[in-house]
Structure 1
Amino acid sequence: MSFNNILVDKNDALAQITINRPKKLNALNKETITELSTAFTDLENDEVVRVIILTGSGEKAFVAGADISEFANFSVEEGGVLARKGQEMLFDLVENLSKPVIAAVNGFALGGGLELAMSCHFRIASDNAKMGLPEVSLGVIPGYGGTQRLSQLVGKGKAMELVMTAGMIPADEALSLGLVNHVTTQEELVPLANKLASKIMRNSSVAISGAIKAINANYKEGVNGYDVEIEEFGNCFGTEDFKEGTTAFLEKRKPNFPNR
């Protein structure tokens, strides 16, 4: 499928989505959100793809925010619909994808850009990256899950500070807070993402899917994460991957997972 604002590249089991609006610092508009939703859904249903990397074009920005001109004149009702539809269409979709999504943050990740990065399963950043949720400086709050996911990742107090001050933090501080897992140079960012993806792909994709469900369950209201873990653990025993993994271990060889 052809897109206007994103690029999708597939190399066997690894896919990369690049948000490609460099003149707008890759800002999210309605069309880009729709295209991203379509791309992630397509890759989720692709039986070959096992890991997805998400990044931005150029060296300045991952995603510098949302396209404010699209909603500057919205009513209360329209604002609520915007947030709900966006969360359901893209941000919740990415978080609950059964395939690991690595955000390679290659510059500014602000507002909706940081929210998108936080919806990915984990994040790595270039050393020039800067992150923040500046929405209160515009008289609004983060609406694509930012208030929830930031506090989950860095704790309530720090999330309160970052949101209230509308400030940006550099990559090294994001690393110390646990907001990103690794920091590297701009040149080594995507190669590092590829290296991490390669390590992931050595393991059972079926088991990884179950692990994503179990970990996410801990952050869902009214859901007992331990029960989800028990269920997913039990489900593994009915998979071909479990048979191959345990057999390979007992035979002292590397497993060749069928990913079923």
Structure 2
Amino acid sequence: MSEVLAEREGEVLVLTLNRPDKANAMNEAMQKALIENLLNSNSKAVVLAASGPKIFSAGADLKEFSELECGIAARRRRALLKCTLEAVLDFPRPLVAAVQGKALGGGCMLALLADELVMAEGAELGLPEIKHAIPTLVGYAIVAARAGMPIARRMVQNGEPVGAGEALDFHLIEEISGNARERALERATTLACLSGPTYQANKKFINAPLMAALQAAFTEADRL
């Protein structure tokens, strides 16, 4: 079974995280497949979705690399996540995320790096790392860039998830839909009709501060 399903819908590539029996936890195979699909895509837009009705992604697969020493395993996971998040943020064409369930930890970060994010009514975004004694500097950088410091501080420092209504109020997402995947595909199809070079130029400039913040957060996390 492929950890990431890749399907073409007209000019749009739909990438689906596909480990529903494992809460779509982001293992090495899934992240490498996601990176490869993004780097090799010639589609005019991408939708990032997930299998299953309740979980977009529970974040990094903490059981992977469990045979390694704790510090080494954490560095391996962090290096892999860095490559994955940078591939999403640096994708030059429109990328729309469809969050149909809970997006937690790395899954939340992944979704929030999309150009647009559509959430289902019962979906949630959360950075619960503090409850597991794990700093989340990267999560803070991403939320702060999208919604500002107060929202980022709240999500990082209390670890409680944010529902779709709050996420919309906080400007973390663009809209709420009864069918997030279908609506995300509609948005991606619309965005695919825009000038590709112009969209890419705008996107690169818009995302430059976040890319710098992302790299700084990973550098600081490596020192902890």
Q: Whole-Å Cα distance in 1 between the matches of residues 19 and 210 of structure 2?
A: 32
- 1:192 paired with 2:183, answer yes
- C-alpha change, 1:156 and 1:71, in structure 2 (3 Å) is farther
What residue identity is the alignment partner of 1:68? Answer: L
Q: How does 1:166-185 map to 2 (within 5 A)?
A: 166-185=159-178
Give the structure 2 partner of residue 85 of structure 1.
80
Amino acid at match of 1:122: E
Q: 1:215 to 1:136 in 2, by over 3 A?
A: same
Measured in 2, the distance between the counterparts of 1:130 and 1:59 equals: 12
Counting only pairs closer than 5 Å after superposition, residues 62-141 of structure 1 correspond to structure 2 as 62-71=56-65, 74-87=69-82, 89-141=83-135
Q: 2:220 — aligned with what?
A: none
Q: 1:40 aligns with which of 18, 31, 38?
A: 38
How far did 1:190 drift? Answer: 2.0
Report what 2:5 is aligned to: 7
TM-superposed CA distance for 1:220, in Å, is 4.8
> How big is each residue's C-alpha offset from its partner over 1:121-151, in whole Å with a ceiling of 9 and x where there is no partner?
22110001011000111111236x3121111
The alpha-carbon distance between structure 1 residues 165 and 174, as it changes in their structure 2 partners (threshold 3 A), is same
Are residues 221 and 35 of structure 1, via their aligned partners in 2, closer, same or farther at CA, if it must alter by over 3 Å? closer
Q: Find the counterpart in structure 2 of residue 152 from structure 1.
A: 145
* Contact 1:92 1:119 (C-alpha < 8 Å) held by counterparts: no
Conserved? CA contact 1:112–1:142, under 8 Å: no
* Matched residue, 1:244: none
Shift of 1:13: 1.3
Q: Any idea what SS the aligned residue of 1:52 has?
A: strand
Q: 2: CA distance between counterparts of 1:76 and 1:129?
A: 32
Instruction: Judge conservation of contact 2:142–2:210 (CA < 8 Å) in 1.
Output: no
Alignment of 1:180-259 (within 5 A): 180-185=173-178, 188-221=179-212
- Is 1:19 matched up with 2:14? no
- Sequence identity, in percent? 26
User: Highest Rg: 1 or 2?
Assistant: 1
Q: Which has the higher contact order (CA 8 A, sep 6+)?
A: 2
1:144-166: CA deviations, max 9, x gaps? Answer: x3121111112112211211111
One-letter amino acid matched to 1:156: M
TM-score by length of 1: 0.76
Give the gaps of 5 or more residues in structure 2: 214-224
Look up the match of 2:136. 142
2:81 partner letter: G
CA distance in 2, matches of 1:177, 1:66: 25
How far did 1:77 drift?
4.6
Stretches of structure 1 lacking an aligned partner (at least 5 in a row):
223-260
Deviations 1:56-102 (A, max 9, x none): 01111111222111255644354234313321x21011101111111
**Counterpart contact for 1:137–1:166, Cα < 8 Å:** yes
